[in-house]
């Protein structure tokens, strides 16, 4: 496999290869300014998914190629596959290896709207604080409270934060987009094409309030400047959208994405996952359980975290008989297809 053009290698070892990423094609260039630094606080979600040292699941050569194509073309990546195949984990793997900061996560439900992903304006909170300020001013304590800072009431959502003008692309995970309302994929098209959006409440402010600092979706609640209510990316974020194949998407949406389908993890990938989460010493003891997991997976859908649950409990097995323990294993390795009534 050639690696001459590949930025992401799937090794799990952090490196500065993102600096080698060439300029995007002309139709994917954006002019957001100024560049912001990517947050560097510890990403606890990444540690939970990938383990402290190793990647949870080694990506296949095809997956690595498609990830790199998405990076080069600045296009969203639609990742499909059965539950438990590591779709969400791929976003964390890319973020860790390329040192792109904490992953911004946007979980999707049937009630999710584009607005929720972009920003939230707390009009009620601002009105309450304005009323308090006016009451204090009426009571002669005008200096007790400063002029209302509207930026305190605007918080960018995960998508809105990802579109800020960072010096390195942020990683955004749009999880289970197939659960969305039928309109959401089409609603995303303009944002994906333009790489920007407008905060209407800030765009209407007078000229002397052209620059406002708003909160982001990052855990450290940092505030960033927004000019005239316009958020425009400098580098298009690396967007991973996951789907469990529960619906089809419109052609216009698919045309703007790169797609890759993840296959269930192999025995080698499962061993790497066990080592990452439970330690290398557990691999030898887990072989029989892994074999049993692989046999059962041919009869019904099983997720890799079910296997981890069994191996974790096996190390803490007490004096249960083999028959009793088989009942425990059967309960943990139940078919997801059967659970869903399929």
Q: Which has the minimum average pLDDT: 46-55, 165-174, 300-309?
A: 46-55
Predicted confidence (pLDDT) at residue 338 exceeds the cutoff of 60:
no
Predicted confidence (pLDDT) at residue 2 exceeds the cutoff of 70:
no
Predicted confidence (pLDDT) at residue 63 exceeds the cutoff of 90:
yes
Predicted confidence (pLDDT) at residue 339 exceeds the cutoff of 80:
no
Please give the Cα distance from 17 to 72 (Å, whole number): 12
Q: Which has the minimum average pLDDT: 166-170, 224-228, 263-267?
A: 263-267
pLDDT in tens, 180-218: 999 999 999 999 999 999 999 999 999 989 999 999 999
pLDDT in tens, 82-111: 887 889 999 999 999 999 999 999 999 999
Alpha-carbon 205 to chain mean position: 33
pLDDT in tens, 8-27: 999 888 999 999 999 999 99
288 — pLDDT class (breaks 50, 70, 90):
confident
Please give the Cα distance from 293 to 213 (Å, whole number): 52
Q: Are 203 and 40 in contact (CB under 8 A)?
A: no
340 — pLDDT class (breaks 50, 70, 90):
very low
Q: Which has the minimum average pLDDT: 19-28, 73-82, 136-145, 262-271?
A: 136-145
**Closest residue by Cα to residue 72 from 243, 258, 241, 231:** 258
342 — pLDDT class (breaks 50, 70, 90):
very low
Please give the Cα distance from 339 to 137 (Å, whole number): 62
SS3 178: helix
Please give the Cα distance from 21 to 224 (Å, whole number): 26
Residue scoring higher pLDDT (253 or 43): 253
Predicted confidence (pLDDT) at residue 299 exceeds the cutoff of 80:
no
Instruction: Find the angle CA(61)-CA(307)-CA(305) to the nearest 5 degrees.
Output: 70
DSSP, residue by residue, 26-62: GGG-----S-BPPP-S--HHHHHHH-SSS-SSPPPHH
**Closest residue by Cα to residue 235 from 290, 164, 284:** 164
pLDDT at 1: 45
334, HSE (Cβ side, Cα atoms, 13 Å)? 9
Q: At what angle do helices 87-97 and 61-73 cross, to 10 degrees?
A: 60
Percent residues over pLDDT 90 in the chain: 55
Q: How far is CA 213 from each of CA 35, 147, 179, 274, 313, rounded to the nearest angstrom?
A: 15, 14, 33, 44, 49
pLDDT at 118: 98
Length of the chain: 342
Average pLDDT over residues 124-150: 72
Percent residues over pLDDT 70 in the chain: 92
Predicted confidence (pLDDT) at residue 241 exceeds the cutoff of 50:
yes
Q: Are 207 and 122 in contact (CB under 8 A)?
A: no
Q: Which has the minimum average pLDDT: 49-53, 66-70, 114-118, 134-138?
A: 49-53
pLDDT at 275: 84
Average pLDDT over residues 115-141: 83
Predicted confidence (pLDDT) at residue 44 exceeds the cutoff of 90:
no
């Amino acid at each position: 496999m050639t690696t001459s053009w590949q930025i992401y290698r799937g090794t799990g070892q952090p490196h500065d290869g993102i600096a080698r990423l060439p300029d995007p094609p002309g139709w994917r260039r954006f002019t957001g300014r100024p560049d912001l630094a990517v947050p560097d606080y510890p990403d606890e979600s990444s540690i939970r998914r990938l383990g402290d040292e190793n990647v949870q699941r080694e990506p296949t050569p095809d997956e690595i190629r498609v990830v790199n194509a998405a990076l080069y073309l600045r296009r969203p990546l639609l990742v499909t596959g059965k539950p438990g195949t590591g779709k969400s984990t791929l976003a964390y793997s890319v973020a860790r290896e390329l040192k792109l900061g904490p992953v911004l996560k946007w979980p999707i439900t049937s009630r999710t709207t584009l607005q929720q992903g972009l920003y939230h304006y707390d009009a009620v909170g601002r009105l309450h604080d304005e009323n308090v300020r006016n009451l204090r001013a009426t009571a002669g304590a005008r200096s007790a409270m400063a002029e209302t800072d509207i930026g305190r009431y605007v918080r960018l959502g995960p998508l809105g934060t990802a579109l800020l003008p960072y010096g390195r692309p942020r990683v955004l995970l749009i999880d289970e987009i197939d659960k969305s309302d039928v309109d959401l994929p089409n609603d995303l098209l303009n944002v994906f094409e333009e790489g920007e959006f407008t905060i209407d409440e800030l765009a209407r402010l007078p000229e002397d309030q052209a620059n406002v600092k708003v909160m982001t979706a990052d855990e450290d609640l940092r505030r960033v400047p927004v000019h005239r209510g316009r958020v425009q990316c400098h580098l298009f974020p690396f967007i991973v959208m996951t789907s469990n194949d529960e619906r089809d998407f419109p052609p216009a949406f698919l045309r703007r994405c790169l797609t890759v389908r993840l296959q269930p993890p192999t025995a080698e990938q499962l061993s790497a996952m066990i080592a990452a989460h439970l330690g290398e010493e557990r691999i030898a003891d887990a072989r029989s359980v892994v074999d049993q997991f692989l046999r059962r997976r041919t009869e019904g859908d099983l997720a890799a975290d079910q296997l981890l649950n069994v191996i974790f409990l096996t190390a803490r097995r007490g004096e249960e008989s083999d028959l009793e323990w088989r009942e425990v294993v059967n309960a943990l390795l139940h078919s997801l297809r059967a659970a869903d009534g399929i």
